Amino acid sequence: MKKDRDGALTHIMMNAAMVAKQHDEHIAAIYEGYAKRHPPLIARSHVANIMATYIYFMLKNGEPYRHANDRLYQSKLDRLKTS
């Protein structure tokens, strides 16, 4: 993420990247590729940037996330329905 961006949004995206690399195989693979060449914080920043790009195009095209883990996604929907 760029330093001249909104600090709160950068913080949120960096935390989301950290969690996504633990739960999403696709994001984890991207992170591992960057982590081989960069320090962990820089690798996480690259992943946050990629995630922001994914979010933009998902909203622009009205598409769901293509690499979603169906089991986790369905579990989340079930928890939301019972709440």
pLDDT number for residue 3? 63
Q: How many whole angstroms separate alpha carbon 68 and alpha carbon 35?
A: 22
The mean predicted confidence, pLDDT, of the chain is: 89
Specify the pLDDT at position 12.
92
Q: How many CB atoms lie within 10 A of CB 27?
A: 20
| pLDDT tens readout for residues 31-62 | 999 999 999 999 999 999 999 999 999 999 99
Q: At a CB cut-off of 8 Å and minimum separation 6, what does 23 contact?
A: 69, 72
CA distance linking residue 59 with residue 42, whole number of Å: 26
